[in-house]
Amino acid sequence: MSITRADIEARLALLELPDGGTLISRDMVRALSITGSEVRFVIEAPNPEMARMMEPLRAAAERAALSLPGVSHASVALTAHAAPAAPSLKVGGHPKGGTSSIRPEGVASILAVASGKGGVGKSTVASNLAVALARKGRRVGVLDADIHGPSLPRMMGVNARPVSADGQSMAPLVAHGVKLMSIGLMLDPDKAVVWRGPMLMGALQQMMSQVTWGTLDVLIVDLPPGTGDVQLTLCQRARPDGAIVVSTPQDVALLDARKAIDMFQTLETPIHGLVENMSVFHCPDCGHEAHIFGHGGVRDEASRIGLPLLAALPIDLETRLAGDAGVPVACGDGVMAEAYGALAQRLVDDGVA
């Protein structure tokens, strides 16, 4: 028997909120997806105060979904709108302080996740690696430095505006055990960021040095694709402890990945290794393996330049659906969660995170 959205909403309509109404009548269910026997959705509370009271309701919603015949797994995330910051903090001014450090105090390690070109799954790797490291007991932050195309808020299931109590600093949001900051949380999501280099560099400086990151074992920085102003500012003024370069196996992606590798080498940023993403597709119906973007290209490149291949991650529907739903696939169980867990463990063992 197939599971429908109406079936799930009917169960959720039975769950009363602390201040009246139900999840359905109050329109709090977001990003509901059904993949085979797996159900995922996000409960969006109207404010942080209510969200703090709703954890029992979140757990009850998860149990309600699991009680449906044919549902084998349910994942429910909880998020909330925050009140607008007062006073507001202007974002995107020109950088200040010349060449002074913007490395946050209390952050033991900064790990850049980069790619030579867009569309290779760099942000997917960054978000899932952050969650996997948090599940290993590490204190993790993730900074979305892809200012023209910020996608981590959607992938991590958050959309609240960061709060600034004094107009000088702001607190990161927290999702799935990870502290998060993104320019996408502070600007209209439907508006393009039409900024020149100095404003990009200023925004990065603010998100690095004006965010109260606290004590972290590792801060993952999801860089924009390419080798531009943001990468240069990060490497020169924050001095990352290392970088990971993500690429698909195809020759066109590897051409640009080599440029990213050369950039880090030029800027004297250690490269911990390469990640081959979308390495293979396993057909869920027949088990056939298809190498959509080629096979082994990143492994061969890593061998050629003497860097380790940290992971070869398959392309699969679950990862895409989980990212769209705001609950990274590394939050759950299964083949992909295990793959990201193994990548995280390797970085922990190597002293990277």
Residue 255: helix, strand or coil by DSSP? helix
For domain 110-349, the question of CATH label 4.10.640.10 is answered with no
Phi and psi angles of residue 268, each rounded to the nearest 5 degrees, phi first: 60, 40
User: Do the domains spanning 5-80 and 110-349 agree at the CATH topology level?
Assistant: no
Provide the pLDDT for residue 81: 64
Neighbours of 269 (CB within 10 A): 21
Provide the pLDDT for residue 80: 78
Residue 154: helix, strand or coil by DSSP? helix
Q: Are 57 and 348 in contact (CB under 8 A)?
A: no
CATH class of the domain at 5-80: alpha beta
Phi-psi region of 241 (alpha: psi -120 to 50; beta: other; left: phi over 0): alpha
What's the pTM value of the predicted model, to 2 decimals? 0.74
Provide the pLDDT for residue 93: 67
What is the Cα gyration radius of the chain?
A: 21
What number of H helices and E strands is found in the chain?
11, 13
Angle, nearest 10°, between helix axes 122-135 and 335-349? 70
Q: Are 78 and 42 in contact (CB under 8 A)?
A: yes
The domain limits of the chain are 5-80, 110-349
Tokens of 298: 């990143």
Q: How far apart are CA 104 and CA 307, in angstroms?
A: 28
What is the 8-class DSSP label of residue 183?
A: G
Provide the pLDDT for residue 46: 77
**List of residues 6+ apart from 347 with CB closer than 8 A:** 111, 129, 133, 272, 310, 353
Residues of the chain with pLDDT under 50: 84-87
Q: How many residues does the chain have?
A: 353
Per-residue pLDDT tens digits for 34-46 = 888 899 988 888 7
**List of residues 6+ apart from 71 with CB closer than 8 A:** 3, 37, 38, 39, 65
Q: How far apart are CA 204 and CA 233, in angstroms?
A: 8
Provide the pLDDT for residue 160: 85
Greatest alpha-carbon pair distance for the chain in Å reads: 63
**Within 13 Å of residue 19, how many CA atoms lie on the same side as its CB?**
9
Residue 274: helix, strand or coil by DSSP? strand
What is the 8-class DSSP label of residue 185?
A: G
Provide the pLDDT for residue 273: 96
In one letter, which amino acid is 267? L
Beta strands in 69-125 (DSSP E): 73-80, 110-114
Torsion angle of C-alpha atoms 111, 113, 116, 119, degrees rounded to 10: -170
Per-residue pLDDT tens digits for 137-179 = 999 999 999 988 899 999 999 988 887 777 778 899 999 999 9
